[in-house]
Amino acid sequence: MNKVAFVDLYQQHQAIEEELVEVFRRVLRKSSFILGPEVVGFEQEFASYVGASECIAVNNGTTALQLVLAALGIGPGDEVITVANTFIATAEAISAVGARPVFVDVDPVSYTMDPQLVEAAITRNTKAVLPVHLYGQAADVDALLEIARRHNLYLIEDACQAHGATYKGRKVGALGVAGCFSFYPGKNLGCLGEGGAVITNDPELAQRMRMLRDHGSIKKYEHSLPGYNFRLEGLQGGFLSVKLRHLDRWNARRREVAKLYQELLSETSLGLPVEMGWGEHVYHLYVIQADDREALRQALGAGGIECGLHYPVPLHLQAAYADLGYEKGRFPVSEHLSSHILSLPMHPYITDEEVKRVASVLLETLQCQSNQQTVTS
Ligand SMILES: *Cc1c(COP(=O)(O)O)cnc(C)c1O
C-alpha cells in the first residue's frame, strides 16, 4: 500500500524542475550567490503580490521577525504580546532581541490571538502585539489594530504560515507596521533551503531593515550601526520567483482539498477548521480536533498515512520558557488544543483519492469507537 505523504515536495518541484534548473544555471554563470539581482527581483515581485511597497528578503522566518523587532528598537526591558499556541520561533525572535514574550490564549474557533485577552496583558513595558496567522488563516487584525492604536503599540504580523491568505479583501503581511514570512520548504511558498522576508509600507523602516540585514551597511565597509548577517542567497531568490508564479494555483488546490475533507468528515464528531468570515484561509495545515486523538493517530499510521501535531506543547509549558513562570492551566484553550488536535495530510499535489483514503480511515476508527461505547454502556 502506498503511503499518503503529509507534504510532498518532490511532486511540487518535479512539475517545475526545468525552470528551477534554469535559475541554477543563471546564478552559476553570474556568480551572484548572495542577495544580487535574483533577490532584488523577488523582493519586488513579492511586495507587489502582497500589495505593499517594500520587501526585505532574509535568510529565514525567525530572523525576519527578529529584524523587525530590532529595527523598531525593541529590546531589553520591553515586552511583546504573542500567543501560546504557535511555533516557538515566534517567541524566540522576541527573546533574541532581549525582550520578554508575554503570552495570551487563542480563540477556540479561529485558533488565533483572542483580542479580548490582549488588553489585560498590556503593561507599561509593552511595545508590540505579534499575532500569528495560524495554519493559514488570518487573525482578527482589525480588533487587534484598534487595541494597538489605543495603547500606542506596534502590530507585527507573523504570516509565516499564511502566504496569500486575505483579511477583508487584503493580503496578510502589510496590515500592521510589518509582516514576516518564512520560505521554509514545507510552507505554502517555500524555497529550496532556508529563506524569509519582511513586508512593510514604511520606507524608513525598510531602509533600517536593509541595513541591519547586511551588517548595518548599505555601502560596503561603511557600517552605520552593528547589524546582522540575515542575507538571502541569490539561488533562493531565483527559486522563489519561479515558485511565486504558482502560489495562487497551489493555494486554490489547498482550498479544494479542505473542502473535500469538510464534505467527507462533516457528519462526524471531529472538530473541523472554521473559516472566519473575515478572509480567505490558505490551509498551510488542515487541523482537526478529536476526543481520542491518539487512537486516530495510530489508525492513520497503521494505514500508511502521515499526520502531524501543531503543536503538542504550548509555548508557556515549554522548558525553554519555564523562567517566564507561567503555570499549567493558565491558557486553557491552547492547552486543550495541544492534546486534541491532529494535522491531516495537506499539500497541493494530494489527490482526491488520497483524501478519501484518509477520511475513510478516520470514519472507520470513529465508527469502531462508537460501537465499543454502545457495547460497554
Ligand atoms: C515556520 C514558522 C516560523 C519560522 O520560520 P523559519 O523560516 O523556520 O525560521 C515562524 N513562525 C511561524 C508561525 C512558523 O510557522
Could you read off the pLDDT of 329-366 as tens digits, one per residue? 999 999 999 999 999 999 999 999 999 999 999 999 99
DSSP state of 232: P
**Which residue among 182, 228, 343 is best mutated to probe the pocket of ligand 1, counting the most ligand atoms within 8 A of its Cβ?**
182
pLDDT for residue 10 is more than 80:
yes
Q: Nearest 5°: phi and psi at 166?
A: -120, 160
What pLDDT sits at residue 134?
Answer: 98
Strands (E), the chain: 54-58, 79-83, 100-104, 126-129, 154-158, 166-167, 170-171, 178-182, 196-200, 217-219, 222-223, 286-289, 341-344
Name the H helices within 122-202.
141-150
Q: Is 82 in the pocket of ligand 1 (CB under 6 A)?
A: no
Owner of C-alpha cell 495603547: 151
Work out the average pLDDT over 125-143: 98
What pLDDT sits at residue 373?
Answer: 78
Q: Which domains are seen in the chain, by residue range?
A: 11-244 (3.40.640.10), 247-370 (3.90.1150.10)
Could you read off the pLDDT of 158-179 as tens digits, one per residue? 999 999 999 999 999 999 999 9
Could you read off the pLDDT of 44-97 as tens digits, one per residue? 999 999 999 999 999 999 999 999 999 999 999 999 999 999 999 999 999 999
Q: Tell which atom from ligand 1 comes closest to the C-alpha of 63.
A: 9
Q: Is 61 in the pocket of ligand 1 (CB under 6 A)?
A: yes
Q: Is 161 in the pocket of ligand 1 (CB under 6 A)?
A: yes
Residue 92 C-alpha to ligand 1 middle, in angstroms? Answer: 10
Proportion of the chain above pLDDT 70, given as a percent: 99
Q: Is 106 in the pocket of ligand 1 (CB under 6 A)?
A: no
pLDDT for residue 105 is more than 70:
yes
Q: Is 62 in the pocket of ligand 1 (CB under 6 A)?
A: yes
- Tell which residue, 90, 39, 80, 76, has the closest CA to residue 232: 39
pLDDT band of residue 109 (cuts 50, 70, 90) is very high
Assign 182 to helix, strand or coil.
Answer: strand
What pLDDT sits at residue 161?
Answer: 98
Owner of C-alpha cell 499526520: 307
pLDDT band of residue 375 (cuts 50, 70, 90) is confident
Q: Is 158 in the pocket of ligand 1 (CB under 6 A)?
A: yes
What pLDDT sits at residue 376?
Answer: 66
Could you read off the pLDDT of 239-263 as tens digits, one per residue? 999 999 999 999 999 999 999 999 9
Could you read off the pLDDT of 297-328 as tens digits, one per residue? 999 999 999 999 999 999 999 999 999 999 99
Mean of the per-residue pLDDT values of the chain: 97
pLDDT band of residue 369 (cuts 50, 70, 90) is confident
What pLDDT sits at residue 372?
Answer: 82
Q: Is 60 in the pocket of ligand 1 (CB under 6 A)?
A: yes
Residue 161 C-alpha to ligand 1 middle, in angstroms? Answer: 7
Alpha carbon distance 256, 275 (integer Å): 13
**Which residue among 92, 135, 137, 161 is best mutated to probe the pocket of ligand 1, counting the most ligand atoms within 8 A of its Cβ?**
161
Q: Is 182 in the pocket of ligand 1 (CB under 6 A)?
A: yes
